[in-house]
Chain A
Amino acid sequence: MHGESIYRKPLILGDKTYNQITEDICAPIEGRAGKLWYLAFTLAAMAALWGVGCIAYLIGTGVGTWGLNRTVNWAWDITNFVWWVGIGHAGTLISAVLLLFRQRWRMAVNRSAEAMTIFAVVCAGLFPLMHMGRIWVAYWTLPLPNQFGSLWVNFNSPLLWDVFAISTYFSVSLGFWYTGLIPDFATVRDRQSIKWMRAIYKITSFGWSGTAKQWQRFEEVSLVLAGMSTPLVLSVHTIVSFDFATSVIPGWHTTIFPPYFVAGAIFSGFAMVLTLLLVMRKVLKLEDYITIGHVESMNKVIITTGSIVGVAYITELFIAWYSGVMYEQYAFLNRATGPLSWSYWIMMTCNVISPQLFWVKKLRTNLVFTFFMSLVINLGMWFERFVIIVTSLHRDFLPSSWTMFYPTYVDIGIFVGTLGIFFTLFLLFARTFPVIAMAELKSILKISGEKQKEDFAKHSHDQHH
Chain B
Amino acid sequence: MKYVFQGKLKMASFALMGIGLVGLIVSFIVFKDNTQRVWANLLLNSFFFTGIAVAGTFFIAVNIVGESGWYTMLKRIPEALGQFTYFGMAAILAVVLAGVFGAHHIYEFFDPKVVASDSLIQGKMGYLNTPFFVGRIVAYFIIWGGFAYLLRKFSLQEEELGGTFDHYVKVRKWAAGFLILFAVTSSTSAWDLLMSIDVHWFSTLFGWYIFAGIFVSSISATMLLMLHLNKNGYLPNLNLSHIHDIGKFMFAFSIFWTYLYFSQFILIWYANVPEEIVYFMERYDTNYRPLVLLMVVMNFVLPLLVLMTRDAKRNYNLLTVMTLLILAGHWLDVFQIIMPGAVADKWGIGLPEVSCLALFAGLFIFVVFTALTKANVEPTKATFLDESRHHQI
Residues of A within 8 A of B (CB): 2, 4-5, 7-8, 100-102, 231, 234, 238, 242, 245-248, 253-259, 307-308, 311-312, 315-316, 319, 322-325, 359
Which one of A101, A255, A319, A325 has the highest number of Cβ atoms from chain B below 10 Å of its Cβ? Answer: A255
Q: Which residues of A contact B263 (CB under 8 A)?
A: 238, 255, 257-259
Q: How far is the CB of B275 from chain A (nearest CB, A)?
A: 7
Q: Which residues of B contact A247 (CB under 8 A)?
A: 271
A325 with B275: in contact, given A5-B69, A7-B384 (CB under 8 Å)?
A: yes
Q: How far is the CB of B241 from chain A (nearest CB, A)?
A: 11
Is there an interface contact between B271 and A311, defined as CB atoms closer than 8 Å? no
A322 to B351, CA, bound (A): 37
Is there an interface contact between A319 and B271, defined as CB atoms closer than 8 Å? no
Chain A minimum-CB-distance residue to B123: A324
Apart from A254-B204, A258-B267, 17 more pairs, CB < 8 Å: A2-B390, A5-B384, A7-B384, A253-B273, A255-B204, A255-B205, A255-B263, A256-B208, A311-B183, A312-B204, A315-B187, A315-B204, A322-B124, A323-B275, A324-B123, A325-B275, A359-B176
Is there an interface contact between B259 and A234, defined as CB atoms closer than 8 Å? yes
Q: Which residues of A contact B67 (CB under 8 A)?
A: 8
Please tell me which one of the listed residues A7, A256, A259 contacts residue B168 in the complex, with CB atoms under 8 A apart: A7
A7 with B165: in contact, given A253-B273, A256-B208 (CB under 8 Å)?
A: yes
Q: Which residues of A contact B123 (CB under 8 A)?
A: 324
Chain A minimum-CB-distance residue to B127: A322
B35 on the A face (CB < 8 A): no
Is there an interface contact between B267 and A242, defined as CB atoms closer than 8 Å? yes
Chain A minimum-CB-distance residue to B260: A259
A7 to B383, CA, bound (A): 8
A324 to B202, CA, bound (A): 9
14 chain-A/chain-B pairs, Cβ below 8 angstroms = A2-B387, A5-B384, A7-B384, A101-B66, A238-B263, A245-B267, A245-B271, A255-B203, A255-B268, A256-B204, A257-B267, A259-B208, A259-B259, A322-B124
B184 on the A face (CB < 8 A): yes
**Interface size classification for chain B:** 35 or more
- Contact flags B266-300 to A (C-beta < 8 A → 1, else 0): 11101101010000000000000000000000000
B349 on the A face (CB < 8 A): no
A255 with B267: in contact, given A5-B384, A311-B184 (CB under 8 Å)?
A: yes
A104 to B264, CA, bound (A): 35
A4 with B387: in contact, given A255-B205, A259-B260, A324-B124 (CB under 8 Å)?
A: yes
Is there an interface contact between B204 and A307, defined as CB atoms closer than 8 Å? no
Chain B minimum-CB-distance residue to A156: B270
A2 with B205: in contact, given A7-B165, A255-B264, A307-B180 (CB under 8 Å)?
A: no
Please tell me which one of the listed residues B124, B184, B204, B206 contacts residue A316 in the complex, with CB atoms under 8 A apart: B204
Q: Which residues of B contact A308 (CB under 8 A)?
A: 183
Is there an interface contact between A323 and B202, defined as CB atoms closer than 8 Å? yes
Q: Which residues of B contact A319 (CB under 8 A)?
A: 202-204
Q: How far is the CB of A450 from chain B (nearest CB, A)?
A: 18
A5 to B386, CA, bound (A): 7
A4 to B69, CA, bound (A): 9
Interface residues of B in 111-155 (CB under 8 A from A): 120, 123-124, 127
Q: Which residues of A contact B260 (CB under 8 A)?
A: 258-259
Main SS at interface, chain B: helix
B329 on the A face (CB < 8 A): no
Q: Which residues of B contact A311 (CB under 8 A)?
A: 183-184, 187
Q: Which residues of A contact B183 (CB under 8 A)?
A: 307-308, 311
- Contact flags B144-187 to A (C-beta < 8 A → 1, else 0): 00000000000000000000010010000000100010011001
Q: How far is the CB of B181 from chain A (nearest CB, A)?
A: 12
Please tell me which one of the listed residues A8, A258, A307, A322 contacts residue B202 in the complex, with CB atoms under 8 A apart: A322
Chain B minimum-CB-distance residue to A242: B267
Q: Which residues of A contact B271 (CB under 8 A)?
A: 245-248, 253
Q: How far is the CB of B340 from chain A (nearest CB, A)?
A: 18
Which one of A100, A248, A308 has the highest number of Cβ atoms from chain B below 10 Å of its Cβ? Answer: A248
B23 on the A face (CB < 8 A): no
Chain A minimum-CB-distance residue to B392: A2
Q: Lowest 10 CB-CB distances: which A-B pairs, in order?
A: A256-B204, A255-B205, A258-B263, A2-B390, A324-B123, A323-B202, A246-B270, A256-B205, A255-B264, A255-B203
A311 to B168, CA, bound (A): 28
Is there an interface contact between B205 and A259, defined as CB atoms closer than 8 Å? yes
Which one of A258, A307, A316, A359 has the highest number of Cβ atoms from chain B below 10 Å of its Cβ? Answer: A258
A393 to B204, CA, bound (A): 20
Chain A minimum-CB-distance residue to B180: A307
A348 to B120, CA, bound (A): 29
A323 to B202, CA, bound (A): 6
B352 on the A face (CB < 8 A): no
A101 to B67, CA, bound (A): 12
Q: How far is the CB of B211 from chain A (nearest CB, A)?
A: 10
Is there an interface contact between B392 and A253, defined as CB atoms closer than 8 Å? no
A315 to B183, CA, bound (A): 11
Please tell me which one of the listed residues B180, B191, B267 contacts residue A246 in the complex, with CB atoms under 8 A apart: B267
B207 on the A face (CB < 8 A): yes
Q: Which residues of B contact A242 (CB under 8 A)?
A: 266-267
Q: Which residues of A contact B204 (CB under 8 A)?
A: 254-257, 312, 315-316, 319
Chain A minimum-CB-distance residue to B204: A256
Chain A minimum-CB-distance residue to B388: A5
Q: Which residues of A contact B273 (CB under 8 A)?
A: 248, 253
Chain A minimum-CB-distance residue to B67: A8
Q: Which residues of B contact A258 (CB under 8 A)?
A: 205, 259-260, 263, 267
Q: Which residues of B contact A101 (CB under 8 A)?
A: 66
Q: How far is the CB of A356 from chain B (nearest CB, A)?
A: 10
Is there an interface contact between A315 and B207, defined as CB atoms closer than 8 Å? yes
A231 to B263, CA, bound (A): 14
A254 to B263, CA, bound (A): 10
A322 to B266, CA, bound (A): 22
Q: Which residues of A contact B202 (CB under 8 A)?
A: 319, 322-323
Chain B minimum-CB-distance residue to A323: B202
Q: Which residues of A contact B387 (CB under 8 A)?
A: 2, 4-5
Is there an interface contact between B120 and A324, defined as CB atoms closer than 8 Å? yes
Chain A minimum-CB-distance residue to B121: A324
Q: Which residues of A contact B267 (CB under 8 A)?
A: 242, 245-246, 253-255, 257-258
A231 to B259, CA, bound (A): 10
Chain A minimum-CB-distance residue to B184: A311
Q: Which residues of A contact B248 (CB under 8 A)?
A: 100
A444 to B179, CA, bound (A): 31
A272 to B91, CA, bound (A): 48
Q: Which residues of A contact B203 (CB under 8 A)?
A: 255, 319
Q: Which residues of B contact A4 (CB under 8 A)?
A: 69, 387
A273 to B373, CA, bound (A): 48
Chain A minimum-CB-distance residue to B209: A255
A5 to B66, CA, bound (A): 14
- Contact flags B56-94 to A (C-beta < 8 A → 1, else 0): 000000000011010000000000000000000000000
Q: Which residues of A contact B268 (CB under 8 A)?
A: 255
A218 to B61, CA, bound (A): 37
A322 to B192, CA, bound (A): 12
A311 to B186, CA, bound (A): 11
A2 to B69, CA, bound (A): 13
Q: Which residues of B contact A257 (CB under 8 A)?
A: 204, 263, 267
Q: How far is the CB of A237 from chain B (nearest CB, A)?
A: 12
Q: Which residues of B contact A8 (CB under 8 A)?
A: 67
Which one of B123, B248, B275 has the highest number of Cβ atoms from chain A below 10 Å of its Cβ? Answer: B123
